[in-house]
Chains A and B, each alone.
Chain A
Amino acid sequence: GESVGLHLPTLSVQEGDNSIINCAYSNSASDYFIWYKQESGKGPQFIIDIRSNMDKRQGQRVTVLLNKTVKHLSLQIAATQPGDSAVYFCAENIAAGNKLTFGGGTRVLVKP
């Protein structure tokens, strides 16, 4: 299938290790942040979200951290698996129902 991002920053991680993907967002008024996973030839898939009134949120094997002071967002994936290989995008939203603004993606390659 087609590659989602041919010239994206790439994170190579050994299967079983933890992954950390970083994202800098632009709008200090943003109220809501989402991480999406996009596999080749597919649309973005929701992973986890966080509101601006929180600094950490955990899901299944994933944790999102938000640092509003420096406008930084990170996604931590625990015990990375081959199925986690994809391009990951962060997105921000200033209000419910509004458009999402996406950051640059990061390609994660999981080595067996």
Chain B
Amino acid sequence: DTGVSQDPRHKITKRGQNVTFRCDPISEHNRLYWYRQTLGQGPEFLTYFQNEAQLEKSRLLSDRFSAERPKGSFSTLEIQRTEQGDSAMYLCASSPGGPLSYEQYFGPGTRLTVT
């Protein structure tokens, strides 16, 4: 499968715990994006990377959230001291990059439930 993959697919955690999600983009895609989606809503942008550089962060990304892409390939999204409001689907997408690359290809998402 050469699509975007995410792990885990589902995560249930207790409030206050830390969680980390992983995203593997399509091979050779330079850009990697994280979005969050709650029930009944469209995905909302969180942050994105061009190779290993994090270029933009949304105001939705509080200090408890951190994302990395250390080698310009896979990325991790960590949430510290989880809150019930963090419960959502976390989606990763990748794009080839370059001046004509508008398309973004999404992974299956990680469903986080904070109890």
Q: Which residues of A contact B (CB under 8 A)?
A: 2-8, 31-32, 34, 36, 41-46, 49, 89, 91, 93, 96-97, 99-105
Contact of B42 among A41, A45, A91 (CB under 8 A): A91
Name which of B68-76, B77-85, B107-115 contacts chain A.
Answer: B107-115
Beta-carbon nearest neighbor of B102 in chain A: A32
Interface residues on chain B, size class: 20 to 34
Roughly how many angstroms separate A96 CA and B99 CA in the complex, as a whole number?
Answer: 6
On whether the beta carbons of B111 and A96 are closer than 8 Å, the reply is no
Can you report 22 A-B residue pairs in the complex whose CB atoms are below 8 A from each other?
A2-B39, A3-B39, A6-B40, A7-B40, A8-B40, A31-B102, A32-B102, A34-B103, A34-B104, A36-B106, A41-B108, A42-B109, A43-B93, A43-B108, A44-B43, A89-B43, A96-B99, A97-B98, A97-B102, A99-B48, A100-B45, A103-B42
Contact of A97 among B42, B45, B95, B107 (CB under 8 A): B95
A64 to B: closest C-beta gap in Å: 14
B95 to A: closest C-beta gap in Å: 6
